[in-house]
Chain A
Amino acid sequence: QAHLQQSGPGLVKPSQTLSLTCAISGDSVSSNNVAWHWLRQLPSGGLQWLGRTYYRSRWFNDYAEFVKSRISIKPDTSKNQFSLQVDSVTPEDTAIYYCSRGPALWGQGTMVAVSS
């Protein structure tokens, strides 16, 4: 049974970079029939899809338009994990961040506050 374990800091200063990691067990980040996603849940409760990475003979990425200029999602095959980076964060990036393989599998969530 697959499992996702998130790690990363819970507090980031404005203008700095948010970095989170999602470690995969029971599946492979290089699997060619799934994609690996990052989402977030705003304090209002709204859920937003941020982006994904997936392998189909080569690596692909897709990002949400509203964050496309600031986001990077990268696989790490040596550690079987994938990461999220969001640059130039503002307080509006305060949220609970989730990694996911699809609707049936989510990480535990990481509450990230952007504050000085």
Chain B
Amino acid sequence: VMTQTPLSLSVTPGQPASISCKSSQSLLRSDGKTYLYWCVQKPGQPPQLLIYEVSNRFSGVPDRFSGSGSGTDFILQISRVEAEDVGVYYCMQTKEIPWTFGQGTKVEI
């Protein structure tokens, strides 16, 4: 089970934002990788990958996005929120099937 907090976040442009994701089990696999991802979903679109394996920014993702954590506790941080960052942010695990997702955090400006 993946538990995200908060479920909604109202932020001022230029200010930081932070979302927490806690897993009921460790997401560290025997290959040494931790299978925790962060995605953002904009209206009418599929989820888009931001961060893979806890802390790696996906191609094209601005460096204001960063991920951290280990084992069962993870954080997504936006250093300076911009208007285009509005959307619903999900953490997800692919360590094992079924993939599971956090409830989503709605970020508004």
Chain A residues within 8 Å of B, Cβ to Cβ: 37, 39, 45-49, 52, 62, 64-65, 98, 102-104, 106-109
A–B pairs, 19, beta carbons within 8 Å? A37-B99, A39-B99, A45-B88, A45-B104, A46-B103, A46-B104, A47-B90, A47-B92, A47-B101, A48-B98, A52-B97, A62-B97, A64-B98, A102-B94, A103-B37, A103-B49, A106-B47, A108-B46, A109-B46
- Please report which residues of chain B, range 83-109, place their CB below 8 angstroms from some CB of chain A when the two chains form the complex: 88, 90, 92, 94, 97-101, 103-104
* C-alpha gap A103/B37 in the complex (Å): 7
Q: Which of B88, B90, B99, B101 has its CB near the most chain A CB atoms (within 10 A)?
A: B99
User: Do the beta carbons of B46 and A106 come within 8 Å of each other?
Assistant: yes
Chain B residues within 8 Å of A, Cβ to Cβ: 37, 39, 45-49, 52, 58, 88, 90, 92, 94, 97-101, 103-104
Cβ of B48: which chain A residues have Cβ within 8 Å of it?
Answer: 106
* C-alpha gap A98/B101 in the complex (Å): 14
User: Do the beta carbons of A49 and B99 come within 8 Å of each other?
Assistant: yes
Q: Which of A46, A47, A48, A103 has its CB near the most chain B CB atoms (within 10 A)?
A: A103
Closest to B50 in A: A103
Cβ of B98: which chain A residues have Cβ within 8 Å of it?
Answer: 48-49, 64-65
**8 cross-chain pairs, A with B, having the tightest CB-CB distances, nearest first:** A106-B46, A49-B99, A47-B101, A49-B98, A103-B37, A104-B49, A103-B49, A64-B98
Q: Which of B52, B90, B98, B101 has its CB near the most chain A CB atoms (within 10 A)?
A: B98
